[in-house]
């Protein structure tokens, strides 16, 4: 079944950088081309017709997040969602990991500068992420929210969302950046109050796609500080008066998005739903396991959690005594695309990644002569 999934993509065998960018499917490319072509021939129904893709994308994202359309809104990226969440909290401390991706830092720094919510930094153990124990130890009465990545961008560490919910209790908000796991890891999204994801990585929808799923509690307590003209009631009535923010997740809309990227997003989400997250996750886990074995066999030191239950699709490693840039050069020479960092390398395969990728990584690491 997953071989027919792979047939939807033209991605080279050695492409192992899905944690940075997920090359879109042929379906998403075709949907984009069709929508853009239709927009060039615009008639009186064209814009409304194209905008139907937004409904399809939103509804599919909602189903995959285990919620419904009322609680789901399309966004242009994950960061916009994190800014909405941050600006929606009027005051208090928010627990955020110092090791998290900076997209989860700046919104909280900005709100602090405005005298609203303030970040309180967590320092996870190396290789681990934000655990329920770490959060429990940092909880005080001032803490109103916790903002975490579902899957750590550096190590692939998978957060225990249900455990985090249990620790924070029903009154504090649990904000989750799902971009490194949504669509490839079955996680307890229902435990979060805010789930945000961009579609350009694991969902393989291309840039300028994404969504947020909000709980009833999030809709109730987050102030609609960034709500724009498309996020209010009676959107089409231009009467010069202030309209109340929409009661549902649409209150996170600042303006219209692109129906062209929505078409790509709808196609990408449809593919995930058709093949199922469970099947995609299993295929990714198998490849991560194979790559782990290859890296270790060639003297690499794995920085990601070793237990499959604690990790998702990201494998970080170093080769002791060899600069990451040198390892990268060897990988590039075998047609492998890793993420290269100053201190490590990261491999992130998808369900379409063939076994050949492991052979290429083995050949590259073997050539280092260790
Ligand atoms: C964990 C994490 N959050 C957010 C982002 C940025 O997402 P966006 O560009 O959709 O805001 C990235 C990567 O670019 C990431 O790894």
Is ligand 1 within 6 A of the CB of residue 77?
Answer: yes
Q: Across residues 157-177, what is the average pLDDT?
A: 97
Where are the CATH 3.40.640.10 domain residues in the chain? 27-274
Q: Across residues 24-53, what is the average pLDDT?
A: 97
Hey, what CATH class is 2-24+277-366 in? alpha beta
Q: What's residue 2's pLDDT? A: 80
74 within 8 A of 262, measured Cβ to Cβ: yes
Where are the CATH 3.90.1150.10 domain residues in the chain? 2-24+277-366
Judged against a pLDDT cut of 90, whether residue 162 lies above it is answered with yes
Q: What's residue 1's pLDDT? A: 56
Nearest alpha carbon to residue 181 among 287, 78, 257: 78
Determine phi and psi for 295, rounding to 5 degrees: -60, -45
Provide, rounded to the nearest whole percent, the portion of the chain with pLDDT above 90.
96
CA 244 to centroid of ligand 1, rounded, Å: 31
Using CA atoms, how far apart are residues 75 and 314, in angstroms rounded to an integer? 25
Residue holding tokens 């579609």? 199
Candidate of 79, 84, 150, 314 to mutate for ligand 1, largest count of ligand atoms within 8 Å of Cβ = 79
Q: Across residues 6-35, what is the average pLDDT?
A: 98
Is ligand 1 within 6 A of the CB of residue 103?
Answer: yes
Indicate the CATH number of 27-274 among 3.30.497.10, 1.10.10.10, 3.40.640.10, 1.10.1660.10.
3.40.640.10
The pLDDT tens digits of the residues spanning 212-262 come to: 999 999 999 999 999 999 999 999 999 999 999 999 999 999 999 999 999
Is ligand 1 within 6 A of the CB of residue 17?
Answer: no
Q: What's residue 62's pLDDT? A: 98
Is ligand 1 within 6 A of the CB of residue 227?
Answer: no
Residue holding tokens 């789901």? 72
Q: Binning pLDDT at 50, 70 and 90, where does residue 109 land?
A: very high
Using CA atoms, how far apart are residues 212 and 70, in angstroms rounded to an integer? 11
E strands present in 313-355: 315-318, 339-340, 345-347
């Amino acid at each position: 079944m997953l071989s027919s999934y792979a047939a939807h993509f033209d991605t080279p065998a050695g492409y192992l950088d899905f944690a940075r960018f997920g090359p879109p499917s042929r379906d998403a490319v075709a949907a984009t081309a069709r929508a853009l072509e239709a927009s060039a021939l615009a008639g009186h129904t064209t814009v409304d017709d194209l905008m139907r893709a937004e409904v399809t994308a939103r509804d599919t994202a909602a189903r995959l997040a285990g919620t419904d359309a009322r609680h789901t809104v399309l966004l242009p990226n994950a960061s916009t969602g994190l800014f909405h969440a941050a600006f929606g909290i009027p005051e208090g401390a928010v627990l955020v990991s110092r090791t998290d991706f900076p997209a989860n830092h700046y919104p909280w720094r900005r709100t602090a500068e405005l005298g609203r919510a303030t970040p309180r930094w967590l320092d996870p153990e190396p290789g681990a992420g934000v655990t329920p124990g770490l959060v429990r130890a940092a909880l005080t009465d001032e803490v109103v929210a916790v903002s975490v990545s579902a899957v750590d961008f550096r190590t692939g560490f998978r957060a225990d969302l249900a455990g985090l919910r249990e620790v924070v209790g029903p009154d504090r908000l649990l904000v989750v950046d799902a971009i490194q796991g949504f669509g490839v890891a079955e996680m307890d999204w229902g435990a979060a109050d805010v789930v945000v994801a961009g579609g350009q990585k694991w969902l393989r929808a291309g840039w300028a796609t994404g969504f947020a799923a909000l709980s009833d509690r999030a809709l109730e307590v987050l102030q609609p500080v960034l709500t724009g003209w498309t996020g209010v009631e009676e959107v089409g009535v231009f009467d010069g008066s202030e309209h109340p923010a929409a009661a549902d997740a649409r209150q996170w809309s600042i303006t219209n998005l692109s129906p062209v990227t929505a078409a790509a997003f709808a196609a990408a989400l449809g593919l995930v739903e058709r093949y199922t997250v469970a099947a995609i996750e299993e295929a990714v886990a198998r490849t991560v396991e194979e790559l782990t074995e290859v890296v270790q066999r060639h003297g690499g030191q794995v920085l990601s959690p070793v237990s499959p239950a604690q990790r998702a699709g990201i494998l970080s490693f170093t080769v002791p005594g060899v600069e990451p840039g040198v390892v990268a050069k060897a990988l590039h020479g075998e047609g492998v695309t890793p993420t290269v960092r100053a201190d490590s390398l990261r491999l992130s395969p998808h369900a379409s990644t063939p076994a050949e990728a492991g052979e290429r990584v083995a050949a590259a690491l073997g050539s280092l002569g260790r």
